[in-house]
Amino acid sequence: MNQHRSTNQDMSAPSAHPDDPHYMHRTGWLRAAVLGANDGIISVASLIIGVAAATPEHGAVMVAGIAALIAGAMSMAAGEYISVSSQADSEQADIRREQEALAATPADEELELAAIYRDRGLSAETAAAVARELTALDPLAAHVRDELGLSEHLAARPLQAALASGATFSSAAAVPLIAAWLAPAGAIIPIVVVVSIFSLMVLGAAGAKAGAAPMIPAMLRVVGWGVFAMAMTAAVGWMFGVSV
């Protein structure tokens, strides 16, 4: 897509509100980053609490925590890479199909474009004129943007998504891990719980701010799920601790 759309990018119009930018171009990496960080804190904190509930032995808790961080970061990055790659593949396949249709039936494609603009409310005459001019300028770009709805902002970037989620998973998961490392053996669980809930609140607030979404619901969402997950693994750990 990049090699094709370079001509249009140069001509992008100045924003009507440059001091208050849109947030759409953040969605891709923001979603991967928040997902990665959220998962990092909840999965590693829960595992540390589960192991600490079964055995308060510091070494065992740290080994489990470090293993969870590495395994989690790898699987998050791999999962994002695979899912976003398949999205990129289908985008490329659609663009190729559009290219073939433009080569085979250019007149039909121009009519199709005009119909899209008519559906958006333009008069038949204006729609036909816009379709004619944009087709003359760059037919594929017009169809990719207005028919397929693909744009530079939302283009699938597998490596960016994988790196974003792997990096944020690791850095977020390091928080409960460091808390467990610094905590006295008998106080690992309460300290990791408090530190994790606080970091989930900060994460919820940061994600809401970056996406211009309401803060309280976002914070309650991540903290609620975090507490639930930690409680579940603590219960399992205690059961193991009692039975072992």
Q: Which positions lie near Zn ion, rule CB under 5 A?
A: 109, 143, 147
Between 94 and 154, CB nearer to Zn ion: 94
Closest CA to 122 of 136, 109, 132: 132
Sequence letter at residue 122: L
Smallest distance, Zn ion to C-beta of residue 98, A? 5
Between 134 and 179, CB nearer to Zn ion: 134
Closest-CB residue for Zn ion?
A: 143
Please state, in angstroms and rounded to a whole number, the distance separating the CA atoms of residues 143 and 156: 18
Residue 225 CA: distances (Å) to CA of 11, 190, 212: 45, 17, 21
What are 93's two structure tokens? 């396949």
Between 39 and 98, CB nearer to Zn ion: 98
Smallest distance, Zn ion to C-beta of residue 83, A? 26
Between 48 and 143, CB nearer to Zn ion: 143
One-letter-per-residue 3-state SS of 4-52: HHHHHHHCCCCCCCCCCCCCHHHHHHHHHHHHHHHHHHHHHHHHHHHHH
Smallest distance, Zn ion to C-beta of residue 110, A? 9
φ/ψ bin of 218: left (φ > 0), alpha (ψ from -120 to 50), beta (otherwise): alpha
Smallest distance, Zn ion to C-beta of residue 41, A? 45
Between 83 and 99, CB nearer to Zn ion: 99
Smallest distance, Zn ion to C-beta of residue 93, A? 14
Q: Cα 51 vs. chain centroid, distance in angstroms? A: 30
Between 39 and 109, CB nearer to Zn ion: 109
Q: Which sign does the torsion angle of CA 86, 90, 92, 96 carry? A: positive
Smallest distance, Zn ion to C-beta of residue 199, A? 47
Backbone dihedral angles phi then psi of residue 156, each to the nearest 5 degrees = -70, 125
Q: What angle do CA 142, 129, 141 make, to 5 degrees?
A: 10
Between 57 and 108, CB nearer to Zn ion: 108
Smallest distance, Zn ion to C-beta of residue 146, A? 9
